Amino acid sequence: MNAKIRAETVDQDERELMDPDSWDWDNVTEGRTMGTPGAILRVRFSREEIRVIERIARDAGIGPVELVRQTMLDRIAPALPR
């Protein structure tokens, strides 16, 4: 795993599950992804930043979360595979 995980946020069971040396490689179980895989991100904004985001979102007729999502999708669109 490339991302560093703060030790105090991960309990012993989670730590063991993330350690490939503790995996049972002789009895692998295949899984099946249901739906479209994705991620949920938490982003922190200052009070002043969120006020501006909310105003822009309101003017666009959408919520602030959707505004941030659409803005980032527009920004990454050129880098997405076609």
Domain boundaries, the chain: 42-82
CA distances from 69 to 2, 5, 41, 42, 53 (A): 25, 25, 10, 12, 12
What CA–CA distance (Å, rounded) separates 74 from 70?
6
Q: Give residue for tokens 């938490």.
A: 42
Model pLDDT, residue 4: 56
At 1, the pLDDT band (50, 70, 90 cuts) reads very low
Q: What are 10-42's pLDDT values in tens digits?
A: 688 888 888 888 888 888 888 888 888 889 999
5 contact partners, CB below 8 Å, separation of at least 6 = 18
Q: How much is the pTM?
A: 0.57
CA distances from 53 to 9, 33, 61, 72, 76 (A): 30, 34, 12, 13, 19
